[in-house]
A and B are shown apart, each in its own frame.
Chain A
Amino acid sequence: MPLTNSHQNIIDPYIKIGPDDSLPAEGALLVTLAVWQDHWERLMRRQELIGVQLTSDEHPEIISDDIDQLDLIALEFPTFRDGRAYSYARLIRERYGFTGELRAVGDVLLEQLHYMERVGFNSFEVLSNDPATDFEIAANDFTVWYQTSGDQRRTATMLRQGKKNHG
């Protein structure tokens, strides 16, 4: 699936591993929660990039202790209507302090990219030939925001008070 890091289209370096797949000896891996839990020790010992993908039923608190070990967390949107991952993203960034790649996967629509970026996602799997351009269109609809969220944008209130956001 085409992927963008919001500036450009990128090639996904990760191999997706589900419960039925065997663990390859080499390569960057994006594993399901079950695989992560079953092969935790083996996976922690690897030197290569490692990520965990969570379904929207899997609260990221389960992996919050491992967060420093992870390069990527991917959160699934089973349908665009399922908004749980917006809250998960904020918790992952703002409460568990994750600084790596936070990827939105699944039913990720153009119109949602902007909200996703605001809550802390920084890569997006979009069904599009050119997701970076889509992102460009969708993320520039607004220049004013009322809410603070993980993205450090200055809110209307901050702008009014002429405050600088040192985030």
Chain B
Amino acid sequence: MYRYDEFDQTLINERAEQFRRQSARRLDGDINEDQFKPLRLMNGLYLQLHAYMLRVNVPYGCLSAHQLRRLAHIARRYDKGFGHFTTRQNIQFNWISLTDTPDIMTELAEVDMNTIQSSGNCVRNITADHYAGRARDEIEDPRVWCELLRQYSVLHPEFSYLPRKFKLALTGSPHDRAAVAVHDIGLRLHHDNQGRPGFEVIVGGGQGRTPVIGKTIRQWIEPRHVISYVEAILRVYNLYGRRDNIFKARIKILVNAIGIDKFRKLVDTEWEQIRDTGLQVSNTEFERINAHFLPPDYENLADQGDELAAKRTREPAFDAWMRSNVTGHKVPGYAIVNISLKAPGRIPGDISADKMEHVAALADQFSFGELRVNHRQNLTFVDVRQIDLYLLWEQLVALELATANIGLASDIIACPGLDYCALANARSIPIAQDISLHFANSGKLQQVGNLTINISGCMNACGHHHVGNIGILGVNKRGKEYFQLTLGGSADEHASLGIRLGRGLPRAEVPGAIERIVDTYLTIRQATETFLQTYRRIGIEPFREAVYGPVNVSRRVA
């Protein structure tokens, strides 16, 4: 993974010192909260319901064991002993004091980490496929480009006051694990018909109040031009994005208002002027960064067929874990292992300082000292020897980190909601806990198979409810929490937005409603259809009926 050199290090240190001075001015009363707010936000420090929250970037989800130990230390020393992994592959600390923040930044800088632009109307942490560089279906590893774009966007003098926040995601695989279609810019590495690698550029996707699937602005662009192309998009957006209404300020609104063709014309005109300037990525720079992403020293191993099969037959729990949490690796004899942070009844994405340290030790022992944070709020070891899988599983079981539910119904995404977030209408976490416990007790998890349930505490959609196969949105009706269900959302290469099922339900009715939806699916599915496939074949009506009862005439008229 990328390590800072002296230049990166100097910049990050200077940023930490700058914030130390800024917060001292605030604490001394030289500046007021209004003046301080934009400064702290540019450093990922939010004021939430009960305390400050600090969001730390995990660039495109890559984390070393060493860094994870430092995060554990921060959780213990400056927080209540917990961290919370987010859908942006970041980690948040929910109980931070302002006086400690400069020290935390210095501690982060020591391990090549920072909080720069993890908030604010600027380019946010860049996200990527968490299997990047390891996935069997991958065409090209996007991580070098992620790092180039990270450096390009950090403290950009022109684009630090955009109309609104700006999110980029990259993937190099046909199967999209990075949800690139619901980002301001999504970049998909693929080959053109002559086999040359290049980026498909998708623009104007997003969630929030106005969910939009992004549109392809360019089918293929040479990688060395990707930064100038991104700059052209950012400049057009900076100049023409709406600034009069924060709910209409994202790039998706601009793209929809003028249409993708006109938008493309503006971008291309701008791009023509800058494509051959210093923004081109030189081979030297590519090679310098690429050297950080060379594969580790893999051993010459064969895939473990029979032995693993024997262990799986003997141990059904191991078998269940293998089926949902472990996936193929492009190198023979290795596997990708997901560690679920979604044990039934627990807060999705939360992990204690003790467990962080244990996970760091396991990463050292089993996966070359590195791991990934993935956008479904779980952790991933990308380089595990297949001969070690059983041993790793046993150790994870001992740590209560072997929940076998990756991609299954209890692998729920939930935003912090009303337990922490000042903008929330409703609590997300308890709903996630209710549902995951419900599934754990029903024993149907494996039978139901792949199903994503995403929960947001308000329209801002941080819990990605629009793209959950089942989405749950917290709403507030006359001071009471209700939950609105949507069906049919998906964040992969066939991205789609969920459709509203019906009126909002009180919290107590949500698990039962989910159960009826799932039972309906089990009854009408054909062969090996997933929930989403069944839904797409049959439509929403049977599910609606299952939750709200048969359609009567009066409802039809209404």
In this complex, how many residues of chain A approach chain B with their Cβ under 8 Å: the count is 33
Considering the complex, which residues of chain B in the window 268-303 have a beta carbon less than 8 Å from any beta carbon of chain A? 273, 277-279, 284-285, 288
B522 within 8 A of A: no
**In the assembly, what is the distance between CA of A114 and CA of B288, in Å?**
29
Within 8 A of B (CB), among A39-96: 59, 80-84, 86-88, 90, 95
**Is B304 part of the contact surface with A, judged by Cβ < 8 Å?**
no
Q: Which residues of B contact A80 (CB under 8 A)?
A: 38, 161
Q: A156-B7, A160-B288 are in contact. Are A147 and B239 (CB under 8 A)?
A: no
Count of chain B residues with a beta carbon within 8 Å of a chain A beta carbon:
37
Interface of B is mostly: helix
A22 is an interface residue with CB less than 8 A from chain B: no
CA distance A160 to B238 in the complex (A): 30
Contact yes or no, B243 A146, CB < 8 A = no
Contact B161 A83 (CB under 8 A): yes
Closest approach, in angstroms, between the C-beta of A6 and any C-beta of chain B? 15
Q: Find the A residue at minimum CB distance from B235.
A: A87
Smallest distance from the beta carbon of B274 to chain A beta carbons, Å? 9
Bound Cα distance from A83 to B157, whole angstroms: 10
A95-127 interface bits toward B, Cβ cutoff 8 Å, 1 = contact, 0 = none:
100000000000001011011101100000000
Asked whether, in the complex, the Cβ of B238 is within 8 Å of the Cβ of A157, the reply is no
User: Please, which residue of chain A has its CB at the minimum distance from the CB of B277?
Assistant: A148
Residue B39 lies at the interface, judged by CB distance under 8 Å to chain A: yes
Query: Does B551 interact with chain A (Cβ within 8 Å)?
Result: no
| One of B96-104, B147-155, B307-315, B319-327 contacting the partner | B147-155
CB distance from A141 to the nearest CB of B (A): 4
Provide the B471-501 mask, 1 if CB < 8 A to any CB of A, else 0.
0000000000000000000000000000000
The answer to whether B159 has its CB under 8 Å from any CB of chain A is yes
The answer to whether B284 and A161 have CB atoms under 8 Å apart is: yes
Report yes or no: A119 in contact with B157, Cβ–Cβ below 8 A: yes
Say which one of B10-18, B57-65, B127-135 lies at the interface with A.
B10-18
Contact with A along B153-167 (1 / 0, CB 8 A): 011111111110000
CB–CB B10/A143 < 8 A? yes
- State in angstroms the CA–CA spacing of A31 and B284 once bound together: 48
Q: Which residue of B has the minimal Cβ distance to A78?
A: B243
Give 29 A-B contacts (CB < 8 Å), ordered by A residue.
A83-B158, A83-B238, A84-B238, A84-B243, A86-B158, A86-B238, A87-B235, A87-B239, A109-B35, A115-B155, A115-B160, A116-B157, A119-B157, A119-B158, A141-B14, A141-B17, A141-B18, A142-B11, A143-B10, A145-B157, A146-B11, A146-B156, A147-B152, A147-B156, A147-B157, A148-B278, A149-B157, A157-B285, A160-B7
Interface residues of B (CB under 8 A from A): 5, 7-8, 10-11, 14-15, 17-18, 22, 35, 38-39, 121, 151-152, 154-163, 235, 238-239, 243, 273, 277-279, 284-285, 288
